[in-house]
Amino acid sequence: MRRTSVWIGLVLCLCASLAASAQDYPEDDEMILDLIREDGTQPETGAEPAAEFLRCSKAAWRVPGQYLVMLHQGTHESHVQRTIRRLRAKAARRGYLVEILQTYSGALRGFLVKMSSDVLHLAVMLPHVQYIEEDSSIFAQSAPWNLQRLLQPLGSTLENATYRPPNDGGLAEVYLMDGSVQSSHREVEGRVVITDFNNVPEEDGVRVHRQASQCDSHGTHMAGVVSGSDSGVARGTGVNLVRVLNCQGKGTVSGALAGMEYIRATLLARPVNAVIILLPFIGGFSRSLNAACRDMVANGAVVIAAAGNYRDDACLYSPASEPEVITVGAVNSADQLMSQGAGGSNFGRCVDLFAPGDDIVSASSDCSTCFTSRSGTSQAAAHAAGIAAVILSSNQNASPVQVLQVMLHYSISNRINLLPLSETHHLTTPNLLAAMPPANNTTSGELLCRSVWSERSGVTNTDKTISRCRQGEEMMGCSSYAPDGVRVGETVAVNSGQMECVAYNGAGGKGVYAVARCCVKSGLQCQVHASREPGQDAECDGLQHHLSGCTSRSTAEILSDSRPHHGDRRRCVVKEEVTSHAVCCHAPSLECNLLENISADKEQVEVSCPSGWTLTDCSAVSQGSAILGPVARGNSCHVRTATGADGAAGIAVCCRIRPPEQPTTTPH
């Protein structure tokens, strides 16, 4: 059985006596027993029987070659030095040296000695020795901040300072595209497979030290964060290393593409239900690398990438910029964006969420029992990969976008301070901190939605921008946002069978954003109905489809938003010179209703869907003032008006999948 904790208080190993039968011990234990039993050395005249030999029950925690030699209770202090002299003499006669590291003369009488295990059979025969215990590691037991943070949403502190996720992620596999991994490290031993793939460039410079500990450092740390027995997020997950980075942590796009080809071929030959591909690297924007990632997702893999450590817009880099990839930024223990000298975590609309990535303790390649602290968005991505493994182990049929939606659903919102970012990036960067779903995760029956921001449009009155949902998502709402309030609205277009949210800049405007509301639920299907001409309402056909969102686009220079209306006619109500699109959705037991909040004098209005309901659309109606745009964040609709405005109304469309045997209700 694996340990589920480390780090907390001072834990002494439980040690087992080798007086038991040899079949209970591994081969090296049997060898020591045989030496003790079969050696011709006899206890000195008048001495007690041979001492016991004890060792830690946790093999990975043992410190080979260091032994505590403890004398009988009540033994005089002088016997400690006498026993040391005898041990040295007996060892020297057989060609061995011993080094005394520490003596004890308090509650216990004895000493710590560094010596070969071949000398043990001599030491146990010494007079006054009660037992010899192999030295072993102890660990501080306050759980690392990063693992504590993952469990915070579960509403409890770590029980007995023990990290206990809902499951160990054992039904998922992670393909780690990195440098080397020290697979013999006690954190990951038995859980890492070093594949035969190796595509790395030559190291830079003429004098390169290719020490194993240097080549393995990044990959070993990453493997430990994912599935380390003490530092890992998902401690039962298997990790398959695909080497694409050299000893300097450098690779090529071509090498990464070859690595993905290798993974794809491997999965075709040996299909696996739950696969995560972890990409803890970053490069400049690459269409090829993004396309390869998109293909892996289309074939069912959850692809998770580091956002980058350049304190920059993640959309400028690959694979972080690929929309189908789950891109992860990094925060520190104070829930601030990770900072590294002049660099720090990347941000922006291409980031999906943030995770712990600063001062993360995990396996070190310096030795098989060493630990070290590292920082970066690679570590943050590894946390997300561990969470994904736990989600997939609870539901192996979850699609990549369902995994993302569950991760976002259980993330902690509005914890991160994004104020240092520019206005554009503060607006589009998700304020979501990754967290572990509870054991009783019920999201498989829920409607889950997220907001997807486009890039900012150009500034001419003909410029537009487009936001799209991922594969497997349905667009249930579409809105636009202009920081200066100059916009003429948005429409929903259909391109190659996929709905697109299109936002239009207004004359003299400084750019506009399109914001799609993208949702997942088994059986969910959405379609769009346009108003026949300006000034006419757009409405849904039949009772099977629910109105989940409205768009509006003005043919004049001033926008008047459409207003959703539910009832016998589920329609988007518009004024003259305004065209509208009604987004109409159907799913078993789907129901949708409206919530409205009117403010006559505030510059910002908020309306939120209640627990159990999901926001699918956010719209606004002004009181004769310019509206910057409705913004959907989490389950709330925020409406901002221009400075000095007369107020506005915020309207939220709230939908849910009605639980079995529960009557139709209206949210309040």
What is the set of active-site residues? 178, 218, 378
Count H helices and E strands in the chain, helices first. 11, 39
Tokens of 629: 């745009």
Q: Give the β-pairing of 474-481 and 432-433.
A: unpaired
Helix, strand, coil tally for the chain in percent (to 5): 20, 35, 45
Sheet holding 513-520, edge to edge: 448-453, 513-520, 474-481
The DSSP element (H or E) to which 475 belongs, if any, is strand 474-481
The distance of Cα 138 from the centroid of its chain, to the nearest Å, equals 28
Q: For residues 338 and 411, is the Cβ–Cβ distance under 8 A? A: no
Query: Cα separation of 288 and 443, whole Å?
Result: 34
Tokens of 488: 């003429």
Q: For residues 338 and 377, is the Cβ–Cβ distance under 8 A? A: yes
- The phi and psi torsions of 579 (rounded to 5 degrees) equal -100, 155
CA dihedral 508, 510, 514, 515 (to 10 degrees): -130
What are the DSSP E strand ranges found in 280-396? 283-284, 302-306, 317-318, 326-331, 339-340, 343-344, 353-356, 360-363, 371-374
Query: Cα separation of 16 and 32, whole Å?
Result: 14
Q: Give the β-pairing of 578-586 and 525-530.
A: antiparallel
Q: For residues 15 and 29, is the Cβ–Cβ distance under 8 A? A: no
CA atoms within 13 A of residue 438's CA, in its CB half-sphere: 9
Residue position matching structure tokens 């107020």: 647
Hey, how many other C-beta atoms are within 10 angstroms of the C-beta on 305? Answer: 31
Buried b (16+ CB within 10 A) or exposed e, 571-608: bbbbbeebbbbbbbbbbeebbbbbbebebeeebebbbb
Query: Cα separation of 357 and 378, whole Å?
Result: 7
The distance of Cα 161 from the centroid of its chain, to the nearest Å, equals 21
Q: Exposed, middle or buried by CB within 10 Å (0-12, 13-18, 19+), for 100?
A: middle
3-state secondary structure of 396: coil
Query: Cα separation of 131 and 116, whole Å?
Result: 17
The DSSP element (H or E) to which 611 belongs, if any, is none
Tokens of 92: 């020297």
Cα R_g (the chain), whole angstroms: 31
Ranges of H-type helices in 112-184? 120-123, 145-151
Tokens of 194: 């070093």
**DSSP 8-state symbol, 313:** B
- Tell me the C-alpha to C-alpha distance, in Å, between residue 620 and each of 42, 596, 624: 93, 9, 12
Hey, how many other C-beta atoms are within 10 angstroms of the C-beta on 66? Answer: 17
Q: Which of 21, 356, 362, 43 is nearest to 187 (CA)?
A: 362
Hey, how many other C-beta atoms are within 10 angstroms of the C-beta on 268? Answer: 9
